[in-house]
Structure formats: structure tokens, C-alpha cells
Amino acid sequence: MIAGMGQHGKAFADSTLAAGRPVISIATSAQRKLAKGHIPLERDATEPDAWRNIAVETAKALVLTLPSNAANLTALSAVLKTLKPAEKLVGHAQNPLTIHVALEDGQTRNAFLENEEALKPFPGCEVRPYSVSELIARRFFSEVPVHARARALGHRRLHMVFAGRGPVNQALILQFLKICPAYGFDMPKLSLVSEEPENWHDELLNDYPGIETLAEFDLAVWHKKYAHPAADDLKRIEDGGAVTSIFVDLGEGEHNAVAARLLRAFCRRESVWRAPTYFQARRGANLAHFFDETGDAIPDPIQPLSSAETVCTLTAIDGTDDREARQVHTAYRQERRDSNGAAALPWEQLTETHRAASRRAADYQPVLEESLSAAREERSTGPASLAAETRSDETTLRTALEHASWCNERILAGWRFGSSRDDERMFHPDLPEATGTSATATRPGSQLDMQ
């Protein structure tokens, strides 16, 4: 069952129908039947009456993909009121009904993940929050080796430019910081370009208090939509380090492809920011007419990020696509056979918070392997006088980098250093102690200092 038939809802319906599964969709306006097996219903999913007489408890899954966080949470409340009588979920103890609720706001989603009662409201029912923007961000960094590209160009730091304050750019920032620790790079730089960059920056600091310890920030004003920032701002930002990638996401309903092309044309004229530009495509239309150049040989191509049609599938949000994360968790359990904590439970019994930690570790693996390869090459070709700390064995380096990535994730989730662990106050003794200490300081030797 799918509540909400906007771009995301229709993508979920299309992919589910294509897999041969029937779909009941609920929307406030009339819908056309998409294919055989599709039953469209015209109802307001935020009203309890909408869920009566449609036997939600018989569904394999329910996806709430309404236009806002508030609407999805209201619809969730309405569904749970309908399901609460215990007899409706008899027989679901081993196969719980899963309700997938779209929460694009990272803070709301994190708070939900920390609330076990919200995730398992009663026996036979599980609630799993998801974010389409996060799915897009995770796919991008799994497919585009930004670290290897920066290293090949001789960059000493990763410098990402985010033009526009759209939800995908927000998700890209968070995903990048989780997987950015790498051998041989200085602290990364994030340049925020929007009509009010100071407000954007302040909001990030407010929502993620430790984020300023993970990256250096720069700001530039984008005075007009589809125009360009001031030339002096562009040059000032590049003075802080060559740009690695540019991301354009102005927000819902904006023409990101047009903005991306205009921005690149201006940057070429000013001879700055010669880096690939990626924009958030709002629809799955043919975008070929936007591109006059493609290929890795071009220093500044324009390319679309994944669209909703490619990431909005049931397998992407129900755990089917979590093969690498499951493998990470299996290895974790084998290493800690004597542990009986919540993190050592079988995957099916894990909280969503612990599953997210395994996903982060799986997402980080390609970056980790690239760093280890770079360190091996440096040791084999470096001068004999290379400092001893840069010759640390691979196991130590692997441990340090994995710990740095883990630190970044915990800091973004609101955790901070404490002399002893306190889950209620979110203190952990393994996090960087000083406020100004960055878990991403990973130039040679710094990993050991950080540990």
C-alpha cells in the first residue's frame, strides 16, 4: 500500500507493479490505474477514516510518501489508531507489518530513530523512517569516487561546493562528512552558495552542533535564481583549495539543470571552479539536450544525480538492498562473539539506529580501500627519510580511519565526548575530547594522534 501519489509515490508504485506485486494507492485526488494489479483509492491519508475497511494489516508493507514530514507523521498516527486493536495483527509477530514513513528532515528522522517505542509501537508492527534525499546521496558517493579523483589531481583536501539549499544538498553534506576521512587529505572544505548562506550555515550548526569540527566552511551569496554568485566570491572560495565537485539543488520546483549550466558557463568565463557539476533532476525526462559535453576527459562535465524513479523502490527501503551492510554486521558479530549488547543482535532484531551504523560502515568501505591503496603506494615510492609515523602498519591505519568515520557519524547524530558512556545524555569516551578536535584530520600520522 502506498499513501501519496506524487513523484515519489508513483515511482514506488511503478517499481512494485513491475516486480509483479499488486499495489493499493491512496491519494486525495483521482488517479488513473497504472497497470494490472493497481487499485487506486481517492482518500485523505491523514484522516483516520481513510484507513477503515481497506485491511491495512494484510499488506506486505505500507509506504507513507506524502509531501511533508508533518503530513506523513499525521498519516502514521491515523494508521496506528486503526491498527491498534491487537486482534488485527494476530499472526504478525514473526512477520511484522512494516510501515515506511518518509522523513526528509534529518533531525526529525534521527529523533525518530532514537525512539524505540515509535519504531515498534506494538507487537506485529514496525515503523521505519526513510529519506529519498539520503538514498540519492548514498548512491552518488557509492558510484562516484571523489577521493580518488581529488588524489589523482594532486588536491590536498576535498572541497565540495553546494549551490542551493535543497534537501538533496543537505543529504549530500551529511553523507559526505560520514565517509570523508581519508589518508593524506587535510580537513575538508564545504562552500555553501545560496541567497542567504549565513542562515543556512547557522541552521547546520544548530541542527548538528559538532559539524564545525568536521569541516571548514565558506559562504557565498547567490543573489538571483539562475544567475551566478559574484566573481570575487567564486575566486575567494577557490583560493581556499581547488574545487572537487559542485552540487546544484535549489529546492522543489526549481530548474536545477538550467542553473547548473549557467553556473558552469560563468565559472568558465572567470576561469574558476573547473570541476564536475551535479544537479538534482526532479523528473525522469530526457535531459540530453542540457549537455554539450560528456566523458571523464572533460574537467567540468554536467551530470544529473539519481532521480526518484531510480531510488524509490521497496527493496531500497525494506532492507533487501542492504547486502553489504549485513556483511559488515555479520563480521562485527563474529569479532565480538562474547558480546550480548544491542549491537550484537542478529540483523533482523537490530534497531534501525544500529542498521544505519552498518550502512555507514558499508558505504565507507570503498573510501577506506582507496586510502589503504594510496598509503601502500606512498610507502613503496616515498623517500627513505619518510617519518616513521607515516609507515604505520595497515591494520593500525585501517582501524584509525574506520574510527574517524564512526566518530563523524556519531557527532552528526548529536553525540559528544564524555569521560564515560551515557546514552541518555549522548556522551561517549571514544569521541574526540576537545571541541576543536576533528575526527577528519587524516593527514599522515594524524590518525594516530587522534586515537
Whether 10 and 49 map to the same domain: the answer is yes
d(Cα 365, Cα 371) in Å, to the nearest integer? 10
Higher-pLDDT residue of 128 and 92 is 128
Whether 25 and 64 map to the same domain: the answer is yes
d(Cα 371, Cα 148) in Å, to the nearest integer? 9
Question: Which domain, by its residues, includes 382?
Answer: 322-450
Whether 352 and 283 map to the same domain: the answer is no
Whether 167 and 218 map to the same domain: the answer is yes
Residue 133 near residue 140, CB atoms below 8 Å: no
**Angle, alpha carbons 330-335-338 (nearest 5°):** 105
d(Cα 110, Cα 401) in Å, to the nearest integer? 24
pTM attached to this predicted model: 0.88
The arrangement of strands across the sheet holding 38-42 comes to 38-42, 23-27, 2-3, 61-64, 97-102, 125-130
List the single range of 143-152, 266-275, 309-318 with lowest mean pLDDT.
266-275
Residue 207 near residue 107, CB atoms below 8 Å: yes
CATH code of the domain containing 78: 3.40.50.720
CATH code of the domain containing 166: 3.40.50
d(Cα 105, Cα 325) in Å, to the nearest integer? 23
Q: How confident is the model at residue 90 (pLDDT cuts 50, 70, 90)?
A: low
Write down how long the chain is: 451
* Inter-helix orientation angle 106-113/352-381, to 10°: 110
User: Cell numbers of 84, please?
Assistant: 491498534
Whether 327 and 306 map to the same domain: the answer is no
- Bridge partners for 193 per DSSP: 163, 220
| Residue 342 domain-assigned (yes or no) | yes
| Residue 316 domain-assigned (yes or no) | no
Task: Specify the pLDDT at position 274.
Answer: 86
User: Shortest CA distance to 213 belongs to which of 7, 404, 6, 425?
Assistant: 404
d(Cα 355, Cα 86) in Å, to the nearest integer? 27
Task: Specify the pLDDT at position 85.
Answer: 62
Whether 289 and 393 map to the same domain: the answer is no
Look up residue 25 and give its amino acid: S
pLDDT tens by residue, 357-391? 999 999 999 999 999 999 988 887 755 544 444 55
Residue 157 near residue 183, CB atoms below 8 Å: no
User: Shortest CA distance to 282 belongs to which of 172, 140, 167, 192?
Assistant: 167
Whether 146 and 223 map to the same domain: the answer is yes
| Residue 240 domain-assigned (yes or no) | yes
d(Cα 252, Cα 68) in Å, to the nearest integer? 12
Higher-pLDDT residue of 31 and 178 is 178
Report the percent of the chain where pLDDT is more than 90. 47
Q: How confident is the model at residue 5 (pLDDT cuts 50, 70, 90)?
A: very high
User: Is a pLDDT exceeding 60 seen at residue 126?
Assistant: yes
| Residue 266 domain-assigned (yes or no) | yes
Whether 9 and 117 map to the same domain: the answer is yes
| Residue 144 domain-assigned (yes or no) | yes
d(Cα 228, Cα 272) in Å, to the nearest integer? 13
Last residue of a domain, one of 310, 340, 368: 310
Last residue of a domain, one of 90, 110, 130: 130
Last residue of a domain, one of 310, 344, 378: 310
| Residue 388 domain-assigned (yes or no) | yes
User: Is a pLDDT exceeding 70 seen at residue 20?
Assistant: yes
Give me the sign of the Cα torsion angle 406, 411, 417, 421.
negative
For residue 124, the tally of other CB atoms under 10 A from its CB is 19
For residue 126, the tally of other CB atoms under 10 A from its CB is 15
| Residue 196 domain-assigned (yes or no) | yes
Whether 81 and 18 map to the same domain: the answer is yes
Task: Specify the pLDDT at position 84.
Answer: 74
Tell me which DSSP letter residue 114 carries: T
Number of domains in the chain: 3
List the single range of 5-9, 285-289, 302-306, 311-315 with lowest mean pLDDT.
285-289
Whether 246 and 378 map to the same domain: the answer is no
Whether 267 and 402 map to the same domain: the answer is no
| Residue 164 domain-assigned (yes or no) | yes
User: Is a pLDDT exceeding 90 seen at residue 72?
Assistant: yes
Whether 298 and 389 map to the same domain: the answer is no
